[in-house]
Structure 1
Amino acid sequence: MSTNTQQPSLSNQEFDVLVVGAGFGGVYQLHHLRQAGFSVKVFEAGGNLGGTWYWNRYPGARVDSDFSIYQFSMEELWKDWNWSERFPGQKELVEYFDYVDKKLDLRRDITFDTRVTAAHFDTTANRWVVSTQNGITVRPRFLILCTGFASKPLYPDYKGLDTFKGIIHHTYGWPQEGVEWAGKRVGVIGTGASGVQVIQECGPDVAHLTVFQRTPNLALPMVQHKVSEKTQTKMKEEMYPYLFRRREQTFAGFHFDTINTGIFDVSPEERYLKLDELWTTGGFNYWLGAHTGIFTDQRTNDEVYTFWQKRVKARINDPEMQRKLAPIVAPHPFGTKRPCLEQQYYEVYNQPNVTLVDINENPIAEITPKGVKTRDGVEHELDILVLATGFDAVTGSIAQIDIRGTDGVLIGEKWGKGLSTYLGLTSANFPNMFFLYGPHGPTAFCNGPTCVEVQGDWIIDCIKDMRDKHFTRIDPTKVAEDGWVKYVNDIFSAGLWNKAKSWYTGANVPGKVIESLNFTGGVPLYLRACREAAEKGYEGFVFSGVEKA
């Protein structure tokens, strides 16, 4: 349900900045640009703030970053807010955004239920002309896309999908009122993050659960626990400022960092104890706090996977389930597909009412009115079908909008031939347009709020600098863009990433170019490149259109 009415009075207005999206990135831009004296509006397709946490309402939806850094770093916000768990759930994150909204008075500049459908650049006025699904047209000087990296859901192209007579939902479009599945026959297609979370949530309650898995998720123990207000008060007094500053110094923007020493440079005993420590600490410590060699050296990666396989296998009773969920030979190098954090995911498969179908061995033939039929002729009858089939990630959120460059080419058409950005913030022929937590940024390997703040600060500083120098237009050059693409790809090609079919490379989307969609060199290296460009007078950009006094 919408939380505000449409604002037709906005039509044809000119203002400084239009921000698309009211998640972490959009909120950060709105608040800080307003503080800097700019006129700013936000268009949000959903009915409330929260971005991914507004849309992803499926049971079990939960963040995979520790509470202490999965929030804005502004003291005015964290000093009065307390979380209930180490890894907060969707409902608590929605409550957090409501708190932030009230604290910062955000809503007065946000128009909800307003999906941006098209934008083109007026080269005479040096302004974007932006249109929405509900008939609003505005003319901002700058367009900032805070659409997130996962807001274009993928639906499988199975024969008969529209014939299913039961309840069917993609995890991204889960109804606000929820779905009652106690005592029902439930099928889940997909075992990515949303699939794992739904499976472990519904497993204990349903009459029968059928999971259709293509690739086993190399999930990690969450080690969830409650967090007291007393603990958080002490952390705020002694640690929070250090934690937030530390984010810019670590590979993935967390409070912990990767280990730079070689895994085989220490004794087998020390190696085992370190892996055990990372494992029992929980969260992404075993992935993004492990030896950096897991991303570049197959032998190191094999060692880390072997430890993972033994720990997970011990939790699964049935040998056939062990083979499907924790195979002796890794389905892909560990960590080259995003692991999920789980709480009792593997224990679900010990239940007698759970069936696991490996659709590599036994593909889905069609969806029938009664359920899912596999190639072996078996029809798995279902009351509820859950599509945990993921997203056209990183680029899809932006490319789905009709955004045209100064050469008349759609952004989706340009990127469809191969992703090209400069600094993971801009793209040539799209002047005065910025994006964050998206293509060619540290996105998939970075704590979300960390990414939107470090990228957001760069954008804000750039726009302020333009105002101070009275420029009305900024263009990234094609030469700079080509250089950045090469830099991103050189770092990527030095790793093991291409040995996995994942959304990191667009391999999950039929027909999409297989390439690096993210900057895989880590946050410090990324920040250095962005800051050096700014310090050199925004090297790689051309400023023009001196503003009239």
Structure 2
Amino acid sequence: MSTQPTDVIVVGAGFGGLYTIYLLRERGFNVKGFEEAPEIGGCWYWNAYPGARVDSDVPIYEYSKEELWKDWNWTEKFPGRQELRKYFEYVDGKLDVKRHIQFNSRVVDAEFDPSTDRWAVRTQDGNITYSRFMVFCTGFAAKPYIPSIKGLENFKGIWHHTARWPQEGVELKGKRVAVIGTGASGVQVIQECATEVAKLTVFQRTPNLALPMRQRKITEEFQSEQKSTYPEKYRRIKTTFAGFLYHTIPKNGADVSTEERTAAFEELWDEGGFRPWLGNYVDLFTSRITNEHFYDFWRDKVRQRISDPVKQELLAPTKPPHPFGTKRPCLEQEYFEMYNRSNVELVSLKENPIVEITEKAVRTSDGVEHEVDIIVVATGFDAVTGSLARINIKGTDCRSIEEKWAPGLKTYMGMTTANYPNMFFLYGPHGPTAFCNGPTCCEIQSEWIVNCITYLRDNNITRIEPSREAEEEWSNNVDKIFSGQLFSEAKSWYTGANIPGKKVQSLNFTGGLPAYVERISTVAKKGYEGFILSGKRTEFTA
């Protein structure tokens, strides 16, 4: 079966997908969206696990378009999943984008036809749609990672990965619960359920260097007073390192006195959120001295909240398990206090790894069988590249994108890749993705992509693809910036090191949002420098 051709296909209906569809429609394009879930929201449809909430504060984690914020008010500084779902429905009420999206439709194949300069896109039901351009808005966390654990399939209780938690929820009260993993979802589940379960057993590989969320309720009156400042705030976030309201401290922490440094750390700590991570001294990610100073500060703050010396060492070790901030820190609310409860057990997987899951227990290498009713698999994702690599995308050389990237990731500007003409992606590989506020990153890249597609249409150009030289230059620059920082010292999804067999390298542009925006803007101003353009007419008019 096949459908009529369209101008642009957009895959994904989260922040990036909805905004891209809206912009394309406003420019007069015939656009069709595909979404695997039955509703809009992207990860906020799938994030149905207990305690799921965003780690970017209001009003940063929303669209900057005035039409979408002037009449919308949040109830918390860091909104939870249900409120985010309501926000997406509100957005659709304003932008009317759902009607362009086919839901319950997972894209499984996409192949470019050089003879027509079009993509053929097949969904899991066999339907094929043809389009001139493809925009993948699949995000960086669409492919859950479940490690190979012996016996998991034999477990007679309930188990789910947090990214595929049942929409109706799972009753945890009074149950014996195991949580495997202490990343973002693990931390949120642990602090949400510890007070209501009969027994909670946490299996930790690496301690989470979590930061205080500083959650609070916010009123409509407060937001109404603040909204006059929103336009300036949305302009400012595009000038900061990570798309938040604060800049890094314009000093090297290694060069200031102990008293000045400690005072700055205390201020960052009191502010909470990601400010101690992304608003710290400018050399936090490059100077081991500054990094270790902040780790020591963090460790001492956290240890004050943990009563058991053994758990202190497991959760906040004397020596850092990795440089601070080189693995994404989570935001927590009384997370560390949960380990003071008598019903919470902490198991170090480095000391006693899981060897098998039986019908009713998790068995570790010391021979202990931890009997449980429910297993929460909070083991993260094949992040950044996995969202695209799980789709069989074939370009002009008939190779899948998974095959192309297996020896090493290569892109141009974190939005395109050579041999895949007329294809764009956002909030993914080699963008500022993991180090940028999500909606901000999506808006910047979506606007660039839609401007590019508009330019091609207006100049009667039917095909665009990056040159291999431009791709090589961009990829080398990403690696060069990364190599001068401390990130490579952590086994992290930032580098793909959490996935067995995956090449370890920088999957993100770590040079900061302003540098990224300047580079992609320059490329556009120079008539899409680094791209090969072809079609009925290829001369530039600007």
TM-score by length of 1: 0.97
- Partner residue of 2:438? 448
What secondary structure sits across from 2:518 in the alignment?
helix
Deviations 1:203-246 (A, max 9, x none): 00000000000000000000000011011111112x10011111
| One-letter code aligned to 1:71 | E
1:523 aligns with 2:513: yes
Shift of 1:454: 0.7
What secondary structure sits across from 2:370 in the alignment?
strand
CA–CA distance in structure 1, aligned partners of residues 8 and 54 of structure 2: 30
Structure 1 segment 320-469 matched on structure 2, within 5 A: 320-469=310-459
| One-letter code aligned to 1:27 | L
Over 4 Å off, 4+ runs: none
Structure 1 segment 148-159 matched on structure 2, within 5 A: 148-159=139-150
Shift of 1:56: 1.0
| One-letter code aligned to 1:94 | R
- Partner residue of 1:188? 179
| One-letter code aligned to 1:283 | G
- Partner residue of 2:485? 495
CA–CA distance in structure 2, aligned partners of residues 459 and 40 of structure 1: 14
Instruction: Identify the match of residue 532 of structure 1 among 522, 529, 538.
Output: 522
Unmatched 5+ residue regions in structure 2?
Answer: none
Instruction: Identify the match of residue 161 of structure 2 among 167, 170, 183.
Output: 170
- Partner residue of 1:505? 495
What secondary structure sits across from 1:292 in the alignment?
coil
What secondary structure sits across from 2:120 in the alignment?
strand
Shift of 1:547: 7.1
- Partner residue of 2:82? 91
- Partner residue of 1:4? none
1:225 aligns with 2:219: no
Shift of 1:401: 0.2
Shift of 1:124: 1.2
Deviations 1:484-520 (A, max 9, x none): 0110000000001111000000000000000000000
CA–CA distance in structure 2, aligned partners of residues 292 and 506 of structure 1: 25
- Partner residue of 1:12? 3
CA–CA distance in structure 1, aligned partners of residues 392 and 483 of structure 2: 31
8 A contact 2:254–2:289 mirrored in 1: no
| One-letter code aligned to 1:60 | G
| One-letter code aligned to 1:84 | T
Shift of 1:57: 0.8
| One-letter code aligned to 1:506 | G
- Partner residue of 1:478? 468
Deviations 1:392-417 (A, max 9, x none): 00000000000001001110000111
CA–CA distance in structure 1, aligned partners of residues 269 and 413 of structure 2: 34
What secondary structure sits across from 2:405 in the alignment?
helix
CA–CA distance in structure 2, aligned partners of residues 156 and 266 of structure 1: 44
- Partner residue of 2:227? 236
- Partner residue of 2:287? 297
CA–CA distance in structure 2, aligned partners of residues 320 and 273 of structure 1: 29
8 A contact 2:207–2:316 mirrored in 1: yes
CA–CA distance in structure 2, aligned partners of residues 236 and 136 of structure 1: 45
Deviations 1:303-331 (A, max 9, x none): 01000000000000000000100011000
- Partner residue of 2:188? 197
Shift of 1:292: 2.1
1:46 aligns with 2:37: yes
- Partner residue of 1:212? 203
What secondary structure sits across from 2:10 in the alignment?
strand
CA–CA distance in structure 1, aligned partners of residues 266 and 456 of structure 2: 51
CA–CA distance in structure 2, aligned partners of residues 85 and 270 of structure 1: 33
- Partner residue of 2:276? 286
CA–CA distance in structure 1, aligned partners of residues 496 and 354 of structure 2: 22
Instruction: Identify the match of residue 504 of structure 2 among 497, 514, 532.
Output: 514
CA–CA distance in structure 2, aligned partners of residues 292 and 198 of structure 1: 33
- How many residues of Structure 1 are paired with residues of Structure 2 in the alignment? 538
CA–CA distance in structure 1, aligned partners of residues 343 and 65 of structure 2: 48
Shift of 1:272: 1.1
CA–CA distance in structure 2, aligned partners of residues 96 and 304 of structure 1: 36
Instruction: Identify the match of residue 59 of structure 2 among 68, 73, 94.
Output: 68
CA–CA distance in structure 1, aligned partners of residues 388 and 347 of structure 2: 34
Deviations 1:20-63 (A, max 9, x none): 00000000100111001111111000010000000111011110
CA–CA distance in structure 2, aligned partners of residues 360 and 344 of structure 1: 24
CA–CA distance in structure 2, aligned partners of residues 520 and 419 of structure 1: 15
| One-letter code aligned to 1:175 | P
- Partner residue of 2:309? 319
1:133 aligns with 2:149: no
Shift of 1:262: 1.1
CA–CA distance in structure 2, aligned partners of residues 47 and 543 of structure 1: 37
What secondary structure sits across from 2:134 in the alignment?
strand
Deviations 1:172-228 (A, max 9, x none): 010011010111100000000000000000100000000000000000000000011
Deviations 1:92-144 (A, max 9, x none): 00000001111111111011000000010111111100000022210011000
1:542 aligns with 2:532: yes
- Partner residue of 1:33? 24
Shift of 1:266: 2.7
Shift of 1:67: 1.5
Shift of 1:259: 1.4
Shift of 1:269: 1.8
Deviations 1:354-375 (A, max 9, x none): 1100010111110010110000
CA–CA distance in structure 2, aligned partners of residues 13 and 402 of structure 1: 22
CA–CA distance in structure 2, aligned partners of residues 306 and 546 of structure 1: 62
Instruction: Identify the match of residue 48 of structure 2 among 39, 42, 57.
Output: 57
- Partner residue of 1:121? 112
CA–CA distance in structure 2, aligned partners of residues 363 and 522 of structure 1: 37
CA–CA distance in structure 2, aligned partners of residues 147 and 547 of structure 1: 32
CA–CA distance in structure 2, aligned partners of residues 472 and 58 of structure 1: 44
- Partner residue of 1:266? 256
What secondary structure sits across from 1:16 in the alignment?
strand
| One-letter code aligned to 1:359 | L
| One-letter code aligned to 2:520 | C
Deviations 1:133-176 (A, max 9, x none): 02221001100000010010011201101011101010001001
What secondary structure sits across from 1:71 in the alignment?
coil
CA–CA distance in structure 1, aligned partners of residues 208 and 530 of structure 2: 40
Q: Which 10-residue stretch deviates more, 260-269 or 203-212?
A: 260-269
What secondary structure sits across from 2:177 in the alignment?
strand
TM-score by length of 2: 0.98
Give the superposed CA RMSD. 1.0
What secondary structure sits across from 2:463 in the alignment?
strand
| One-letter code aligned to 1:405 | G
What secondary structure sits across from 2:291 in the alignment?
helix
| One-letter code aligned to 1:488 | V
